[in-house]
Amino acid sequence: GAVVSQHPSWVICKSGTSVKIECRSLDFQATTMFWYRQFPKQSLMLMATSNEGSKATYEQGVEKDKFLINHASLTLSTLTVTSAHPEDSSFYICSAREVAAAYGYTFGSGTRLTVV
């Protein structure tokens, strides 16, 4: 089946620094990738939708200058949390949709970010 690799699985960083998270589809092409954030004991909240070769679409309340998304190829999307603060600590998960599938979504393994 389709596999999405997400790295790193966990990261601890200092306040004010930036962190990059990678989401890579290993055996399929993904025209669209989604980035979610999940706080403890809460549901997955969509942050942004990235389409290969174009600018990401951000959900209301998500700062595009803080959460930089790049989807430069059909197999790779990156999320960069800039100037991280403790309140950015969360579980970040990507999902990718296959080019040929209307409903073929596959989730990455997630990244637990802790900002100290």
Partner 1 sequence: GENVEQHPSTLSVQEGDSAVIKCTYSDSASNYFPWYKQELGKRPQLIIDIRSNVGEKKDQRIAVTLNKTAKHFSLHITETQPEDSAVYFCAAIMRGQNFVFGPGTRLSVLP
Q: Which residues bind partner 1 (CB under 8 A)?
A: 34, 41-46, 49, 91, 93, 95, 102-103, 105, 107-110, 112
In the complex, least distance from residue 80 CB atom to partner 1, rounded to whole angstroms: 21
In the complex, least distance from residue 47 CB atom to partner 1, rounded to whole angstroms: 11
**Do β-strands 30-38 and 45-51 pair in parallel, antiparallel, or remain unpaired?**
antiparallel
Nearer to partner 1, 18 or 42 (CB): 42
Nearer to partner 1, 66 or 91 (CB): 91
Nearer to partner 1, 46 or 76 (CB): 46
In the complex, least distance from residue 39 CB atom to partner 1, rounded to whole angstroms: 12
The answer to whether 37 touches 92, Cβ cutoff 8 Å, is yes
The answer to whether 30 touches 23, Cβ cutoff 8 Å, is no
Q: List the beta bridge partners of residue 24.
A: 5, 76
